[in-house]
């Protein structure tokens, strides 16, 4: 079973292409564990990195996490009912002792526990509970962090309009949250970083709603703020998302421009080598090197590019541009094959086959139309 990528709730989460970004716990909450306690339940819970998924349709969200009934346990943690009960008991104790930030941390851990297990509706509920004691304590940075996670939970439930509203609500709290940070702990995240995160998430929601103009505007704002922080991964993620967005509008010249910038920033090494498919691909890797490449940064960056290309190929087919659909799917196929991502090889091959089949059907229909026209013309001819 592959190792699940784990993130520290306190540390800043990196941006990831086509995956919503979550703000970390602010300083006071990270230090609000009940005194004289070394239990893991009273420390900030580690959360799983959201994962990409390659599908055969353009309308499915690009995440493995969805409804609890649909996920693969390989991508989630097993929910610990014992730990949930322990956290619920501790929450009551914190509430009675009137320690709102300690209580908030318990709600946070409950939410992350459900989130890691794939139960996003329940995670949303616990994140909402997390916000309440933060509000009672007047700790706006906690409210801001909670709203960020609520919005992501809504995104994972495909409630995109609700997620946009929560993100926009969070935007209004940024200035106040940073003022409180300066008065209390002195440092956390910059305004530009927070705005880049929230704008990026708003853009992803609009992308899933097929709203090209609104998504482009949100990504533009995210990119502007991200470049101020000189965050390479933020800029790369926005370019990948904008490439997909451009494919939604059918502008494949802009798709290629954004993809090129993404490849440059994400440090995916590509060459002009030709393959049997006659398309660009990554530099050919010897078979005895594939095993080592699975765990290095270049391999993972290439895997992300494959996901992005598959998403674009699906949108190209959505526009009935079967040539472009096959082009991007074939490029994804080549990269996946070179690095040994065999599941993605199959997905890309299926998309190529669908494009080829639809092109063949279109050609047959055109030929039949021509025959019908010629037949009608011949029926009107009087032979001498």
Q: Please state the three-class secondary structure of the chain as a single string.
A: CCCCCEECCCCCCCCECCECCCCCCCHHHHCCCCCCCCCHHHCCCCEECCCECCCCCCCCCCECCCCHHHCCHHHCCCCCHHHHHHHHHHHHHHHHCCCHHHHHHHHHHHHHHHHHCCCHHHHHHHHHHHHHHHHHCCCHHHHHHHHHHHHHHHHHCCCHHHHHHHHHHHHCCHHHHHHHHHHCCCCCCCHHHHHHHHHHHHHHHHHHCCCHHHHHHHHHHHHHHHHHCCCHHHHHHHHHHHHHHHHHHCCHHHHHHHHHHHHHHHCCCEECCCCCCCCCEECCCCHHHHHHHCCCHHHHHHHHHHHHHHHHHHHHHHCCCHHHHHHHHHHHHHHHHHHCCHHHHHHHHHHHHHHHHHHHHHHHHHHHHHHHHHHHHHHCCCCC
Q: What mean pLDDT is predicted for residues 128-134?
A: 96
Query: Which of these three, 202, 232, 266, is where a domain ends?
Result: 266
pLDDT for 376 equals 53
Position 383 in a domain: no
Compute the distance between CA of residue 88 and CA of residue 96 in angstroms, rounded to an integer: 13
Based on the domain organization, do 82 and 177 belong to the same domain?
yes
Based on the domain organization, do 74 and 21 belong to the same domain?
yes
pLDDT category at 357 given cuts 50, 70, 90 is: confident
Based on the domain organization, do 231 and 141 belong to the same domain?
no
pLDDT category at 340 given cuts 50, 70, 90 is: confident
What proportion of the chain, given as a percentage, has pLDDT over 90? Answer: 48
pLDDT for residue 366 is more than 80: no
Query: Which of these three, 161, 181, 201, is where a domain ends?
Result: 181
pTM: 0.82
pLDDT for 296 equals 61
pLDDT for residue 20 is more than 80: yes
Position 19 in a domain: yes
pLDDT for residue 286 is more than 50: no
134: domain CATH number is 1.25.40
Q: What mean pLDDT is predicted for residues 143-169?
A: 97
pLDDT for 275 equals 42
Q: What mean pLDDT is predicted for residues 269-278?
A: 43
pLDDT for 194 equals 97
pLDDT for 294 equals 40
360 lies in which domain range? Answer: 272-378
Cα separations in angstroms, 345 against 56, 137, 335, 337: 12, 52, 8, 6
Q: Where are the beta strands (DSSP E) in 27-185?
A: 47-48
Domain count for the chain, please give it.
Answer: 3
pLDDT for 54 equals 63
Identify the three-state secondary structure at position 324.
helix
pLDDT for residue 282 is more than 60: no
pLDDT for residue 246 is more than 80: yes
Based on the domain organization, do 122 and 54 belong to the same domain?
yes
Q: Which residue has the higher pLDDT, 98 or 34?
A: 98
Which token pair is 108?
């946070």
pLDDT for 114 equals 93
pLDDT category at 38 given cuts 50, 70, 90 is: very low
Position 306 in a domain: yes
Based on the domain organization, do 110 and 153 belong to the same domain?
yes
Position 384 in a domain: no
Based on the domain organization, do 298 and 232 belong to the same domain?
no
pLDDT for 78 equals 80
pLDDT for 5 equals 75
* pLDDT tens figures, 186-221: 789 999 999 999 999 999 999 999 999 999 999 999
Cross-strand partners of 233: none
pLDDT category at 42 given cuts 50, 70, 90 is: low
As a whole number, the mean pLDDT across the chain is: 81
Compute the distance between CA of residue 238 and CA of residue 235 in angstroms, rounded to an integer: 5
Based on the domain organization, do 77 and 174 belong to the same domain?
yes
Q: Residue 63 has what DSSP assignment?
A: B
Based on the domain organization, do 34 and 169 belong to the same domain?
yes
pLDDT for residue 371 is more than 80: no
Nearest to 255 by CA among 309, 214, 215: 309
Q: What mean pLDDT is predicted for residues 62-86?
A: 61
Of 59-68, 194-203, 246-255, the range with the lowest mean pLDDT is: 59-68
Query: Which of these three, 181, 209, 243, is where a domain ends?
Result: 181
Based on the domain organization, do 22 and 139 belong to the same domain?
yes
Q: What mean pLDDT is predicted for residues 82-109?
A: 90
Rounded to the nearest 10°, the torsion over CA 315, 217, 48, 46 is: 180
Q: What mean pLDDT is predicted for residues 101-109?
A: 93
Based on the domain organization, do 219 and 163 belong to the same domain?
no
pLDDT for residue 354 is more than 90: no
* pLDDT tens figures, 306-335: 999 999 998 888 888 889 999 999 999 999
Of 77-81, 144-148, 216-220, the range with the lowest mean pLDDT is: 77-81
């Amino acid at each position: 079973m592959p190792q699940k990528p784990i993130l520290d709730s306190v540390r800043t989460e990196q941006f990831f292409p086509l995956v919503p970004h979550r703000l970390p716990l602010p300083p006071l909450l990270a230090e609000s564990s009940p005194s004289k306690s070394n239990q893991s339940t009273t420390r900030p819970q580690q959360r799983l990195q959201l994962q990409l998924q390659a599908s055969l349709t353009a309308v499915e969200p690009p995440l493995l996490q969805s409804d609890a009934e649909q996920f693969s346990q390989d991508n989630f943690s097993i929910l610990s009912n014992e730990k949930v009960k322990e956290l619920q008991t501790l929450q009551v104790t914190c509430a009675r002792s009137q320690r709102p930030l300690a209580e908030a941390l318990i709600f946070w851990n409950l939410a992350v526990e459900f989130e890691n297990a794939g139960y996003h509706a329940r995670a949303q509920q616990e994140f909402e509970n997390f916000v309440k004691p933060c509000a009672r304590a007047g700790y706006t940075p906690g409210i801001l962090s909670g709203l960020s996670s609520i919005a992501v939970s809504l995104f994972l439930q495909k409630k995109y309009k609700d997620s946009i509203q929560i993100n926009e609500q969070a935007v209004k709290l940024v200035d106040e949250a940073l003022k409180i940070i300066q008065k209390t702990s002195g440092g956390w995240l910059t305004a530009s970083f927070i705005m880049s995160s929230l704008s990026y998430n708003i853009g992803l929601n609009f992308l899933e709603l097929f709203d090209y103009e609104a998504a482009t505007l949100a990504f533009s704002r995210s990119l502007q703020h991200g470049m101020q922080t000189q965050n390479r991964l933020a800029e790369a993620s926005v370019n990948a998302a904008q490439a997909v967005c451009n494919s939604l509008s059918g502008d494949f010249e802009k798709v290629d421009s954004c993809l090129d910038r993404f490849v440059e920033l994400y440090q995916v090494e590509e060459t002009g080598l030709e393959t049997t498919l006659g398309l660009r691909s990554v530099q050919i890797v010897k078979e005895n090197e594939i095993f080592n490449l699975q765990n290095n940064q270049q391999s993972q960056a290439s895997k992300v590019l494959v996901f992005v290309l598959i998403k674009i190929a699906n949108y190209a087919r959505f526009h009935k541009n079967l040539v472009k659909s096959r082009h991007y799917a074939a490029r994804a196929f080549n990269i996946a094959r070179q690095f040994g991502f065999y599941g993605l090889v199959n997905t890309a091959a299926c998309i190529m086959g669908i494009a080829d089949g639809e092109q063949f059907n279109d050609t047959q229909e055109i030929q039949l139309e021509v025959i019908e026209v010629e037949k009608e013309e011949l029926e009107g001819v009087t032979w001498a």
